[in-house]
Amino acid sequence: MNRCSQAFFERGYFVVPAFYSAAEVKVLAALIEPILKQWQSTLPPDFKGVNMHSLSHSAYFSSTEARVNFFEHLISPALVETLDSCFGKDLYFHNTQLFFNPEDIAQRPYWHRDLQFSSISDFEQSQEQSQLLSLHLRIPLLPEAGIELIPGSHARWDTERESRVRFETSGHRHFEMLPDSELIQLAPGDLLVFDGQMIHRRHYAGNSARKALDICVGKPHALLKSFLDPANLPTQAELRALSQPQWFERAWEFWTSSDSTERLSIFEPGFQPLD
């Protein structure tokens, strides 16, 4: 077991400092900006969210070349090599997200596990937790103390207190402090890898501005298939032009497979929960 695998096994996350160069971060930020502006132009005036998803959706690109260029910078050889060495060579690309501060900086962040916001019951999630690998690869484009995690919660289910806080029962609120939490400090170029099914919450206090890119990857599981939107994947022609197509190829294999139970989600296709 290598160092990152050991850290993830024990804590549910690891950080690789300065994984990206300043130049690479600058290129990613430049590629993301026009996508963000297109998305923002479609929002209603009363929009209160703190993230967008599906940055690779075909609607945001005017040409095949532009979309291939985005995928090439999104999934680098170094990223594939690092993640494959930690988790094996059967990872698939699921989606992307971009996180920013809310309009109301006093908005309280809340504890959750990602699938908490889906139609999948908490009991079913708890039964499948050991079989799920749903990763966030966070790349901060600005310095941030942006996410708080409960180390080890990827490998167990909630304590009684954690459950009451997450679901606001017995008089608890979902923004209360929880024991043993860790606030992760990140600089542009750092890479944070964490399990989306561990207990975590976003963090705004002390971040005057926030822009963090998450690449969501994982291993195929029946509970996750209905949340995969093929519109976010490269076309077959685009796949042939990519130097690192393997995560996307596995996503297509997962999408076209018949070995999962289809379920209706209460969310739109491609749904990704808030961090």
What is the predicted pLDDT for the residue at 260? Answer: 43
Q: How far is CA 84 from CA 78, 152, 194, 247, in A?
A: 10, 21, 15, 10
What is the predicted pLDDT for the residue at 108? Answer: 86
What is the predicted pLDDT for the residue at 262? Answer: 43
Q: What is the DSSP letter of 112?
A: B
The domain spans of the chain are 3-256
- pTM of the predicted model, to two decimals? 0.92
Q: How far is CA 260 from CA 49, 92, 221, 246, in A?
A: 31, 15, 7, 21
Helix H or strand E encompassing 140? strand 134-140
What is the predicted pLDDT for the residue at 275? Answer: 53
**Assigned CATH for 3-256:** 2.60.120.620
Q: How far apart are CA 243 and CA 213, in angstroms?
A: 21
What is the predicted pLDDT for the residue at 274? Answer: 47
What is the predicted pLDDT for the residue at 104? Answer: 73
Q: How far apart are CA 142 and CA 15, in angstroms?
A: 16
The residue ranges of the chain whose pLDDT is under 50 are 260-274
